[in-house]
Amino acid sequence: MANVEQAQTTPPAAPPEVPVTVTAKAVKMVNITKEEEGHEASCGLRIAVRGGGCSGFEYALDFEEETRDTDLVYDQNGLKVIVDPVSARYLAGTEIDYVLGMTGAGFKFNNPNAVGTCGCGSSFAV
Report how many domains make up the chain: 1
Determine the pLDDT at residue 3: 44
Task: Look up the CATH number of the domain holding residue 93.
Answer: 2.60.300.12
pLDDT tens-digit series, residues 54-95: 657 888 999 999 999 999 999 999 999 999 999 999 899 999
pLDDT tens-digit series, residues 105-121: 889 999 888 765 555 55
Does the residue 5 lie in any domain?
A: no
Does the residue 85 lie in any domain?
A: yes
Does the residue 2 lie in any domain?
A: no
For 116, the domain range is 20-125
Burial 20-39 (b: 16+ CB within 10 A, else e): bbbbeebbebbbeebeeeeb
Does the residue 86 lie in any domain?
A: yes
How many C-alpha atoms does 6 have within 13 Å on its Cβ side? 3
Does the residue 11 lie in any domain?
A: no
Q: Coil, strand or helix: which one is 40?
A: coil
